[in-house]
Amino acid sequence: MTGTPVNSLRRSEVTLSTVSAFLCAAILSFQALASAETLTIYSTHKQRSVQNLLNKFLAENKGVEIAYFSDVNWELVKKLEAEKATSKGDIYFTKDLVYLNETAAKDLLIPFTSAEVAKNIPAYMIDKNNLWTGLGLRARTMVYNPSSLNPAELSTYEDLGDSKWTARMCLRTSLSSYSVAYVASMIMHLGYDRALQAVKGWVANTVIDPTIGDELLLANIDAGVCEVGVMNTHYLAEQQMKKTINAKPFFADQATTGAHMNGSGIGILKTTQNKALATKFIEFMTRKDVQEQWGREQMEYPANVEAEIPASLAAFGNFKKDETPWSDFAPYLEQARQLFKDADYQ
């Protein structure tokens, strides 16, 4: 976990194994910041990946300091639950709709209303109880090797379970929250039984064991180990910026629901002592110019429809997005995890 007052370009990285030292440092940090208005952010985004935007916010809001704590989501939630009312947390900032819904269900967030956020962000990305809002989008797209696969063969996520794809497919592990989200989406749209049949087909059609991440999945497709897989657009765009990639995206379900969309989001923690400042930060994050910077730095489609899409993502072309309200995923997340067990999807 990391915790750093963001009032300069300084940053530090500490791990859970040094939690005692971290706690001492945190106490000193908060004492040093006592004279300033402090915004405390708990995030699954590493600080270095959002440093430029934090600095921009601070430049526009003199007299404000930011204390930033980052870790994997389950560790953040465990910390918040352990701290309870003693927590100094103001903002919860994460990269997945699964985490947004599950953190809200743990009663760790409070509602907020903002005309600015409602103007900037599509309604389907805002929690029905106003506990959080989305900030950016990642399409869960098919990716294929054009050397061996004609894209005319591709159509839907469900179709990848057909036996014609035997020994042609790669999968990412079911442990990924991204896998949970898009299989939850399939359960919503198809029902549990049809989704289960499709996922069983995926498992049967894989040529190798599921990979731990999208980067390795992409490498296997690009090398011809398999012909098709499903991954996030931001990984594909990032890798294309680093090296020549032969693999191409294909957006699924264009004749029906549209491609599954996930992404980053933000909410206000129940422990906040400065809801006005927390709301101001969220409004800042939804602003057009900030959204454009966010898109370029995170390689996500901006949630603000007025913001320009990064060129690397725009190159993938226009496509139909699944705009199912993100709040609607909540009842299906545990069903998706159970489906993985039923389908023997590792």
**Cα Rg for the chain, rounded, in angstroms?**
21
Cβ atoms of residues 92 and 33 within 8 Å: no
HEC profile of 22-38 = HHHHHHHHHHHCCCCEE
Residue 158 has a pLDDT of 97
Query: Could you list the pLDDT tens digit for every one of the 346 residues in the chain?
Result: 555 444 433 333 333 333 333 333 343 344 444 447 999 999 999 999 999 999 999 999 999 999 999 999 999 999 999 998 889 999 999 999 999 999 999 999 999 999 999 999 999 999 999 999 999 999 999 999 999 999 999 999 999 999 999 999 999 999 999 999 999 999 999 999 999 999 999 999 999 999 988 989 999 999 999 999 999 999 999 988 888 889 999 999 999 999 999 999 999 999 999 999 999 999 999 999 999 999 999 999 999 999 999 999 999 999 999 999 999 999 999 999 999 999 999 9
Cβ atoms of residues 54 and 68 within 8 Å: yes
Of 27, 26, 110, 33, the closest CA to residue 66 belongs to: 33
How far is 266 from 289, CA to CA, in rounded Å?
18
Question: Domains of the chain by range and CATH?
Answer: 2-136+263-314 (3.40.190.10), 138-261+318-343 (3.40.190.10)
Q: Which residues pair with 65 in a beta bridge?
A: 38
Distance of CA 155 to the CA centre of its chain: 25
pTM: 0.88
CA distances from 18 to 43, 284, 292, 294, 317 (A): 19, 33, 36, 31, 46
How far is 220 from 224, CA to CA, in rounded Å?
6
Q: What is the DSSP string of 199-255?
A: HHHHHHHBSSPPBSSHHHHHHHHHTTS-SEEEEEHHHHHHHHHHS----EEE---TT
